[in-house]
Amino acid sequence: MDEDLFKKVGCEKMPMVQVNVWKGFEQEKIDYLIKNITKAFVDVDVPAEAVEILIYEVPKSHWGVGGESCSIKFKDVGPQE
């Protein structure tokens, strides 16, 4: 990666966006997120080549909301494990 690229956009490091989704999230939706999150940075003059996006799939049983596992709290919502 060209280090001058970061100087041109006024930042020292590339933006890195981390997204957590439930395991089983559709690949089409992941592709959509990658494309459009990158576009949001491009819209504020950050080169697409400088944008990194990491999408983590987490089992609903390992994600809790309000003291309860999402596999129980949201058993009828989203991808099924």
Is residue 2 situated within a structural domain? no
Structural domain count, the chain: 1
pTM of the model: 0.76
Is residue 79 situated within a structural domain? no
- Structure tokens of 58? 């987490």
Strands (E), 9-51: 16-22
Q: What are phi and psi of 54, to 5 degrees?
A: -115, 125
Is residue 80 situated within a structural domain? no
Bridging pattern class, strands 68-69 and 64-65: antiparallel
Residue with the larger pLDDT of the pair 23 and 12: 23
Of all residues in the chain, what percent carry a pLDDT higher than 70?
A: 81
Identify the CATH number of the domain in which residue 53 sits: 3.30.429.10
Q: pLDDT digits over 32-71, tens only?
A: 999 999 999 999 999 999 999 999 999 999 999 999 999 9
Q: Which residues are identified as catalytic? A: 15
1-26 burial, b for 16+ CB within 10 Å, e for fewer?
Answer: eeeeebeeeeeeebbeeeeebbbebe
- Residue-level pLDDT at 14: 83
